[in-house]
């Protein structure tokens, strides 16, 4: 178990800078998810933590020791790869024992550790098979078993679930979470799947183009995204970002939406600090509203908005209603059968959870 600090780390391949000063710090026992689209540098960063790629500049510290120049084997880490990377000519048992053998662990001890890992991951019956005789999910288990027997300070996972089908992915996700709860080892986990990030992480680092956009608890990332990029990337359906003008009245900040040929719609009670309300008064902003902040109005006046529903998409537990405000498409998650397509509806907005963004910088306004 260990802390991990990534301190102003940069990485260039030739003249291309892939990581542009990444700083991340997590506590002992944290489950850090590096979340971002393909090509943003997640795997590169993970490889640098593992020691498989060199650090161009900056420092990486595991348990307060600078590891920049340590080879992978001396970092006390274990890694699970996207393709599992099981040694194809070895049996499952040999795969799991290979690392221990190299470290000079005695045969009796090796067998014990292998058996314990196999029991924990329910794969005792697979020990004498070869990787080619295993299904995707079984290979995944073996790869995890190989990591677990190492009993490392730090687990590294690179998109371990992306080669599995949807059902298995959900099962294995739970399995990984259980593993973390059971072992309590610090984990760094790379994924482009925001649901994986939300369900697994204790800390999420959202990345874009080699820059960390936000490092926070998953709930904070969801509720208070640092900028519109994070707001759009996390959550499905994603947060609606509606162009508006900020005004200030006696009660506080008000978002004013221009609606063609009608008088502007207003949502009052936007939760921002007084000095920011003053600073952005009269300026263009983006109002971020998650689908579940809308409820079908009970008719009482207040924080309501009248909309014309375009499309209704039932999902089972609830229904997604799509409509236009201020020229952009907005999604609301409402109970089934409460709204109808091509009809008007009055919706109430939970304004306490609205997030406001600067229309120019696209950063959150607090």
Partner 1 sequence: MAANVRSRHRQHATGRALIYGGLLCLAAFYLMPLWVIITTSVKHLDEIYAGSFIGLPKEITFDAWRSAWSEACNGTACKGLKPYFINSLIMVVPAVILSTGIGAINGYVITKWRFPGSNFIFGILLFGCFLPFQAVILPMAQTLGFLGLAGTLAGLVLVHTVYGIAFTTLFFRNYFVGVPDELVKAAQIDGAGFMRIFVSIMLPTALPIIVVSCIWQFTQIWNDYLFGVSFTAGENAPITVALNNVVNVSMGRKEYNVDMAAAMIAGLPTLIVYIVAGRYFVRGLTAGAVKG
Ligand X SMILES: Nc1ncnc2c1ncn2[C@@H]1O[C@H](COP(=O)(O)OP(=O)(O)O)[C@@H](O)[C@H]1O
Query: What span, in angstroms and rounded, lies between the C-alpha atoms of 63 and 79?
Result: 17
Count of positions on this chain that bind Mg ion (CB under 5 A): 1
Cα torsion through 28, 29, 30, 32, rounded to 10: 100
Q: 279-303 burial by CB neighbour count: b if 16+ within 10 A, else e?
A: ebeeeebbbbbbbebbbbbeeeeeb
Residue 261 contact partner, candidates Mg ion, partner 1, ligand X, none, CB within 5 to 8 A by sort of partner = none
CB of 39 to Mg ion, least distance (A): 8
Query: What span, in angstroms and rounded, lies between the C-alpha atoms of 247 and 243?
Result: 13
Of these, 43, 114, 140, 304, which contacts Mg ion (CB under 5 A)? 43
Of these, 2, 77, 277, 356, which contacts partner 1 (CB under 8 A)? 77
How many residues in total does the chain contain? Answer: 366
Of these, 33, 43, 75, 365, which contacts ligand X (CB under 6 A)? 43
> Measured between alpha carbons, how far is residue 354 from residues 283, 288, 294, 345, 347 in Å?
17, 6, 11, 20, 14
Count of positions on this chain that bind partner 1 (CB under 8 A): 27
Tokens of 198: 């939300």
Query: What span, in angstroms and rounded, lies between the C-alpha atoms of 270 and 249?
Result: 11
CB of 162 to Mg ion, least distance (A): 9
Of these, 4, 30, 44, 218, which contacts ligand X (CB under 6 A)? 44
Of these, 22, 35, 42, 95, which contacts ligand X (CB under 6 A)? 42
Query: What span, in angstroms and rounded, lies between the C-alpha atoms of 147 and 43?
Result: 18
What mask of x and - would describe binding to partner 1 in positions 102 to 121, judged by CB under 8 A? xx------------------
153 counts as binding ligand X under rule CB under 6 A:
no
Contact at 8 Å (CB) between 305 and 347? yes
Of these, 41, 225, 291, 326, which contacts ligand X (CB under 6 A)? 41
191 counts as binding Mg ion under rule CB under 5 A:
no
Residue 103 contact partner, candidates Mg ion, ligand X, partner 1, none, CB within 5 to 8 A by sort of partner = partner 1
204 counts as binding partner 1 under rule CB under 8 A:
no
Q: What is the CA radius of gyration of the chain?
A: 25
- Give the interface segment with partner 1, choosing from 131-139, 168-176, 292-300, 351-359 (CB under 8 A): 131-139
- What are the residues binding partner 1 (CB under 8 A)? 47, 50, 52, 71-73, 77-79, 81-90, 98-99, 102-103, 131-132, 139, 146
């Amino acid at each position: 178990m260990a802390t991990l600090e990534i301190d102003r780390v940069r990485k260039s391949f030739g003249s291309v800078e892939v990581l542009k000063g990444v700083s991340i710090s997590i506590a002992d026992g944290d489950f850090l998810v590096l979340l971002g689209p393909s090509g943003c540098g997640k795997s590169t960063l993970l490889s640098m933590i593992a020691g498989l790629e060199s650090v161009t500049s900056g420092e990486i510290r595991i348990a307060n020791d600078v590891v920049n120049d340590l080879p992978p084997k001396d970092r006390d880490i274990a890694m699970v790869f996207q393709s599992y990377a099981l040694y194809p000519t070895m049996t499952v048992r040999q795969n799991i024992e290979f690392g221990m053998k190299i470290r000079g662990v005695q045969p009796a001890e090796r067998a014990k550790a292998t058996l314990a890992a196999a029991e924990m991951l329910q794969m005792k019956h697979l020990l004498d098979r070869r990787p080619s005789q295993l299904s995707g999910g079984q290979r995944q288990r073996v790869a995890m078993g190989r990591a677990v027997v190492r009993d490392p300070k730090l687990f590294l996972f690179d998109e371990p679930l992306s080669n599995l089908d949807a059902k298995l992915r959900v099962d294995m996700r739970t399995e990984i979470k259980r593993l973390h709860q059971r072992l309590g080892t610090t984990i760094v986990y790379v994924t482009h799947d925001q649901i994986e990030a939300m369900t697994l992480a204790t800390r999420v680092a959202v990345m874009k183009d080699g820059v960390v956009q936000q490092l926070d608890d998953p709930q904070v990332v969801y509720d208070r995204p640092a900028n519109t990029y994070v707001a759009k990337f996390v959550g499905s359906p994603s947060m609606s970002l509606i162009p508006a003008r900020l005004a200030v009245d006696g009660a506080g900040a008000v978002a004013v939406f221009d609606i063609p040929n009608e008088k502007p719609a207003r949502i009052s009670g936007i939760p921002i600090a007084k000095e920011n309300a003053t600073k952005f008064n009269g300026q263009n902003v983006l109002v971020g509203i998650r689908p579940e902040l809308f409820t079908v109005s009970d008719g009482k006046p207040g924080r309501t908005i009248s909309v014309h529903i375009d499309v209704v998409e039932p999902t089972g537990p609830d229904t997604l209603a799509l409509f236009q405000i201020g020229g952009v498409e907005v999604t609301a998650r409402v109970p089934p059968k409460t709204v109808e397509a091509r009809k008007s509806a009055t919706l109430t907005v939970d304004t306490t959870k609205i997030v406001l963004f600067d229309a120019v910088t696209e950063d959150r306004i607090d």
